[in-house]
Amino acid sequence: MKTALTIAGSDSGGGAGIQADLKAFSANGVYGMSVITAVTAQNTVEVRSVQDIDTDIIRDQIEAVFDDIQVDAVKIGMLSKPETIEVVIEGLKKYKPSFIVLDPVMVSKGGHHLLQPEAVEKLKELLPLATVITPNIPEAEVLTGLTITNLDDMKKACEKIYELGVKTVLLKGGHLNSEPNDLFYDGQTFHLIEGKRFYTKNTHGTGCTLSAAIAANLAKGMSLLDAVQKAKCYISVAIEHSLDLGHGHGPTHHFY
Ligand code: PLP
């Protein structure tokens, strides 16, 4: 069986982070493993508190997995602080996994910082190691300093992120008012990955789920563009069937 590893934060509410990733891995037919970088006390309404995991234990988790088990793809989510990013870079350079999907998680829907603002520069050191990076509009604005309001701006942002040393950019357009179309850029060609908007408040964990599904598809041997297109279909249906759990933003549904 093909395998995928998520390096990310835990969401006690089960909708985002490690929990979303492992569900998406299972639903997409790969064996999921996890390296936990932070524990969030969280539900559908808010992130109440965050405990970063000691870097020694993060390093040990990475080594325990890679020393024993074949890892076909890695997905990276919440990294919280510069020291965590450093340990993850070390691990990736040591084990050189074939595919790395980097979701540059920065701020939760409720406004809680999941990446310390001062860690953004450190995050840029991780970019050249990624097969693909999957920023949403606010994350792309932080990475590029641009204001993004339309498809032209998205193209400029893709080019600017590519110049940071990333192999491929998937810029997610869901935060714009238009249809939630994403832009895929590999340094040569732009591909528009079209989506349909579902009017629901239950969108907690959509970014995590999409990047985990891309990693699962890469682990299964799909080309990158195929992996992204299939993952986009997967997240669209997962949002269409999202769950009205809790009192805030309910989670996407993996096993509809
Ligand atoms: N919590 C954790 C641990 C995450 O990794 C993420 C995702 O990126 C979130 C929360 C954010 O979830 P959302 O903004 O979709 O509510």
Does the Cβ of 208 fall within 6 Å of ligand 1? Answer: yes
Asked whether 18 lines ligand 1 (CB < 6 A), one says no
Compute the distance between CA of residue 34 and CA of residue 8 in angstroms, rounded to an integer: 8
CB burial string 102-127: b at 16+ within 10 A, e below: bbbbbbbbeeeebbeeebbebbbebb
φ, ψ (nearest 5 deg) of residue 100: -130, 120
Which residue has the least CA distance to atom 11 on ligand 1? 108
Q: What is the model's pLDDT at position 109?
A: 86
| Domains along the sequence of the chain with CATH | 3-240 (3.40.1190.20)
**How remote is the CA of residue 106 from the centroid of ligand 1, in Å?**
9
pLDDT at 177: 86
> What does the pLDDT read at residue 138?
96
Q: What is the DSSP letter of 103?
A: -
Out of 35, 75, 108, 249, give the residue to mutate to test ligand 1, the one with the largest number of ligand atoms within 8 Å of its CB: 108
Dihedral angle, C-alpha 131, 25, 172, 193, nearest 10 °: 90
Which pLDDT belongs to residue 178? 86
Q: Could you identify the residue written with the tokens 């990310």? A: 8
Given the residues 37, 131, 206, 209, the one annotated as active site: 206
Residue among 237, 230, 253, 239 at smallest CA distance from 184: 230
State residue 149's pLDDT score: 96
Low-confidence ranges of the chain (pLDDT < 50): none
| Burial track 152-182 (b if 16+ CB lie within 10 A, e otherwise) | ebbeebbeebbeeebbbbbbbbbebeeebbb
- Residue 208 is a catalytic residue: yes
User: pLDDT digits over 95-113, tens only?
Assistant: 999 999 999 999 998 899 9
Contact 126, 88 (CB under 8 A): yes
Q: Decide the pairing of beta strands 73-76 and 100-102.
A: parallel
Interstrand relation of 132-133 and 100-102 (parallel, antiparallel or unpaired):
parallel
Ligand 1 binding pocket includes 109 (Cβ within 6 Å): yes
Please tell me the distance between residue 204's alpha carbon and the centre of ligand 1 in angstroms.
7
Pairing label, strands 190-193, 182-185? antiparallel
pLDDT at 2: 98
Which atom of ligand 1 is least distant from the CA of 77? 5
